Structure 1
Amino acid sequence: MLAYATQLTRDRAAAEDVVQEALVRAWRHPDSLVNGKGSVRGWLLTVVRNIVTDQIRARNARAPEVRESPVEVAVSGDHAEQVVNSVVVIDALSRLSAEHREVLEQVYLLGSTVAEAAKALGIPPGTVKSRSFYALRALRELRSLSAAGTERSAS
């Protein structure tokens, strides 16, 4: 099995993983080994080939992996600006209703889908969409009021 997997993958470590997966499948499905339709060896080699084929298909289905470039130090605003922005966002979120804040936390902070957020909050998906819309609108209005207040105090 290992020789066959190595021949297919051209990588000893990957071949060892394939053989291990094939043996795990054989262990989980012992009835497939004694069904009388062929040899155990043939079944195991077929499983090895199928695992390698699945890995190749999975690799081709996603974008190629690209090595990350070294992290470059970005010259951006100072740390104080980031802190101020965080405080502004926290303040704005605290002004929302609990229902609106919960939806935004689920969707934007936790990265949940509408369906996942609905399940977590125990509300219909349409309610998640509606609350998200109105919460974002309220945040925009707060930002507009804040910007207008800043302009007045600067003049």
Structure 2
Amino acid sequence: MQQHPFQISRKIEYGMRAMIFLASQPMDRTVPFREIARRMDVPEDFLAKILKTLVERNMVRSTRGAHGGYALARPAREVSFLDVIEAVEGPVVVNVCQDGSSHDSCKATGSCTMYGVWKLGQQRMLEVYRHATLDRLAMSDLRVPEPAPEAPTRPAAESRRVE
């Protein structure tokens, strides 16, 4: 099936899955990339490249060694859907006339009746992506279970009967 121009790429989808997984973990937990790939059903080779990009864009930090892996570089509440999309693929542009340069990039500038619609569509889409933060998208079933608190034990002297 041919990809539709408005379809989100696998790169964005997999990057978002990885970021949501990391947002679901405690900030101090470093997760091996193979665990992210397995839990989020992302091909390891593809995920390795995406994580490298996310590290380069300061979205994720990596740690090497036996206990190495990946973690968010900043709190999940400070990372938007748009931040992840742009880190992975670059700026979001609905149409070439919305690429940030002047309205002149289109040959039909003087008579274009679509420009306003494209502009409004892009503004609204970016607004939605900008306000969707990872802390709101974190999935509770991906969180590492907290260890159960130990039941208090009674000192031996209290458990003996006093006569």
- Coarse TM-score class (shorter-chain normalised): under 0.3
* TM value normalised by structure 2: 0.25
* TM value normalised by structure 1: 0.26
Question: Which has a greater percent of helix?
Answer: 1
